[in-house]
A and B are shown apart, each in its own frame.
Chain A
Amino acid sequence: MGNALLQYATVLMLTIFVGIEIIAKVPSILHTPLMSGSNAIHGVILVGAMLILGSANTTLEEVLGFLAVVLATLNVVGGFVVTDRMLEMFKAKPKAPPAKKDEVTS
């Protein structure tokens, strides 16, 4: 077992605690955007897919690597765009109430 493995395991352990700690208090209306946002973040597998295709020696590796890059790109791009679209809906709210009241009273 090399030093590298130990270093990765350290990172793993620390990150588990960070992951649990940072979302301990999330209002339920944000559960869906949070899920969608973290969905986009695991799209970082794209970096892995690029490295795989970028070091492919055989046709099999090229085909698998190509597929991996396509799927990972779908994950990243789709994930961020969907999340942004969800959160866009929340953005207008602080401004909306005064405008609405004017409409109703007029």
Chain B
Amino acid sequence: MSRGTLIDLLYLVSATTFIIALKGLGSPKRARLGNGIAAAGMLLAVVATFFKQVDGHSLYHVGLILVAMAIGVIVAVPTARFVRMTAMPQLVAIFNGVGGGAAALVSITEFVHIHSTRPATYVTLEVLLGVLIGTVSFSGSAIAFAKLQELMTGRPVTYPGQQIINAILGVAGLVLIIVILVNGQTTLLWVLLALAFVLGIAFVLPIGGADVPVLISLLNSFTGLAVAASGFTLGSNLLIVAGTLVGASGILLTRLMSKAMGRSLSNVLFSAFGSVVTASGGTGADARPVRSGSPEDAGVLLSFASRVAIIPGYGLAVAQAQHVLRELAEELEKKGIEVFYAIHPVAGRMPGHMNVLLAEANVPYELLLELDEANSELQTADVALVVGANDTVNPAAKDDKSSPIYGMPIIAADLAENVLFLKRSMRPGFAGIENELLYSPKTTLIFGDAKDTLTKIVAAVKAS
């Protein structure tokens, strides 16, 4: 067997591990194993590549390749290891973005490399698609990162004629591709690159912070497609298989995620969701009476309950209060009070994010109830303790047909006898929508930092 055949065989093994890995990632038991298998397959492919012959010679610049890899590893490992769990979504965004950038660079460089040999039209097309999709994914992910990291506003950024301008940008990209295919002018490739960069930004700007995770999933899928396009150009089955797998499964995953929020994908992408209500929600709300209480009041209320539902949201994670929350739950359990956690599918900022955060704080898995189960249990709960959640308990999703979140499944906190709302201020949540539950006679608001307030409540519960 020749060396080339052996390497191709190893690539086949590697591609197979990716399929097995994706399958494993879909099941709670085998997910971690799946990830490990994919990593092993990746290592195999990379090592095999060092021995590959290209254009009839062994790889040039092996030293440079190793240096570049070392730089990547030195930056990536500490970043991935030590960034706080709350920052997970933006981390995925940025790692996806660099992947898209790499795919675009590979396509560009291959084009520069083979340009003198007058490549066939379909090769040029593959290159152009790789550049377009990869670059959109790169700049789009960068904006998604900036939104999640709060380097810029998380609210949708809109301007007049936005959708028309975006449509023109998209069409311009396609026209440019056709012109390059017909004329074969390399200089226009750089124009396409710039256009794709702007398109990625323009595409992401109108998407509100709460929807960004769905968007990241879509951009993830884009990067997969860009990788597949590069695979066509380079003639690599491995890249085609891996890229297409991610591209196809990513689109499906994106649809599943928007479904979990009760919305369609096009609604997520094009409706500038949450821009309807401006940040003035705080001032408008002051006019209406709300009942606010002290942490001590809350402690007493909780101590006399027999069933308590805890509804955590992203505010809990921001305040790093998941450990204090578990402490409170344990104190209540010591008093014989039954405690459970009601977890909305999109609590936190990504589906499953809240489960990860609570697991980190050693909250027992069987106390975490998913939406439907939680809602039937809530009918018999004495107190619903809402910590840093807002939109996911907003009854407008059930009652108010005019509300932008109408139809989204919510945790029915309003079914409980009493509602305790831990909030920093009266500002509306991530989606930017008023929450009627705040004004309900059942509700007591406790203002302040979640961690602070919870610590005081724990003390109050211990004392009573």
A interface list, Cβ under 8 A from B: 1, 4-5, 8, 11-12, 15-20, 22-58, 60-62, 64-94, 96-97, 100, 103-104
Set of chain A residues within 8 Å of B72, measured between Cβ atoms: 69-74, 76-77
Residue among B27, B45, B333, B351 having the largest count of chain A Cβ atoms under 10 Å = B351
Where the two chains meet, the residues of B that have a C-beta atom closer than 8 Å to any C-beta of A are: 14, 18-19, 21-23, 25-28, 31-32, 34-36, 38-39, 42, 45-46, 49-50, 52, 54-55, 59-62, 64-65, 68-69, 71-73, 75-77, 79-81, 85, 88-89, 91-92, 94-96, 98-99, 101-103, 105-106, 108-110, 112-113, 122, 213, 216-217, 220, 223-224, 226-228, 230-232, 234-250, 252-253, 256-257, 260, 330, 333-334, 345, 350-353, 355-356, 359-360, 362, 364-366, 370
Known: A28-B260, A45-B99, A104-B334. A35 touches B217 (CB 8 A): yes
Q: Which of A22, A56, A67, A74 is the one whose CB lies under 8 Å from B75?
A: A74
Contact of A49 among B26, B34, B102 (CB under 8 A): B102
CB distance from A106 to the nearest CB of B (A): 10
A81 touches B356 (CB 8 A): no
Q: Are A22 and B23 in contact (CB under 8 A)?
A: yes
Residues of A within 8 A of B59 (CB): 50-51, 54-55
Q: Are B26 and A23 in contact (CB under 8 A)?
A: yes
User: Of A12, A50, A79, A88, which contacts B49 at CB under 8 A?
Assistant: A50
Residues of chain B within 8 A of A19, CB atoms compared: 22, 244-249, 252
Q: Are A37 and B25 in contact (CB under 8 A)?
A: yes
Question: How far apart are the CA atoms of A11 and B403 in the complex, in Å?
Answer: 46
Q: List 22 contacting pairs A-B, 8 Å CB cutoff, sorted by A.
A: A12-B228, A20-B249, A32-B213, A33-B31, A34-B26, A37-B21, A37-B25, A41-B22, A42-B103, A44-B14, A48-B227, A48-B236, A50-B65, A51-B49, A54-B62, A71-B98, A71-B99, A73-B73, A78-B79, A81-B76, A90-B31, A93-B365
Q: Which of A22, A29, A70, A103 meets B22, CB within 8 Å? A: A22
Residue of A nearest to B366 (CB): A97
Q: Are A34 and B64 in contact (CB under 8 A)?
A: no
Closest residue on chain B to residue A94 by CB atoms: B365
Q: How far is the CB of B343 from chain A (nearest CB, A)?
A: 8
| Complex-state Cα separation, A1 to B235, whole angstroms | 14
- Check if B356 sits within 8 Å of A89, measured CB to CB: yes
Could you tell me the distance in whole angstroms from the C-beta of B51 to the nearest C-beta in chain A?
A: 11
The 10 A-B pairs at the shortest CB distance, nearest first, are namely A73-B72, A19-B248, A54-B59, A75-B99, A81-B80, A69-B68, A31-B351, A93-B365, A68-B105, A78-B76
Contacts of A49 in B (CB 8 A): 102, 105-106
In the bound complex, residues from chain A placing their C-beta under 8 Å from that of B14 are: 44
* A73 vs B101: C-alpha distance when bound (angstroms): 12
Q: How far is the CB of B147 from chain A (nearest CB, A)?
A: 17
Contact of A48 among B61, B213, B230, B256 (CB under 8 A): B230
Contacts of A100 in B (CB 8 A): 362, 364
In the complex, the answer to whether A31 meets B252 with C-beta atoms within 8 Å is: no
Q: Chain A residues near B62 (CB, 8 Å)?
A: 54
Contact between B80 and A82 (Cβ–Cβ < 8 Å)?
A: yes
- With A22-B22, A81-B77 known as contacts, the answer to whether A88 contacts B240 (CB < 8 A) is no
A26 touches B353 (CB 8 A): no
Q: Of A1, A50, A64, which is within 8 A of B105 by CB?
A: A64
**B77: shortest Cβ distance to chain A, in Å?**
6
Q: Are A64 and B88 in contact (CB under 8 A)?
A: no
Inside 8 A of B21's CB, which chain A residues have their CB? 37, 41
Closest to B239 in A: A48
The distance from the CB of B251 to the nearest CB of chain A, in whole angstroms, is: 8
User: Bound complex: CA of A4 vs CA of B48, how far in Å?
Assistant: 22
Query: Whole-angstrom distance from the CB of A4 to the nearest CB of chain B?
Result: 6
A94 CB contacts on chain B under 8 angstroms: 365
Cβ contact within 8 Å between B351 and A28: yes
Docked Cα-Cα span, A51 to B52, in Å, equals: 8
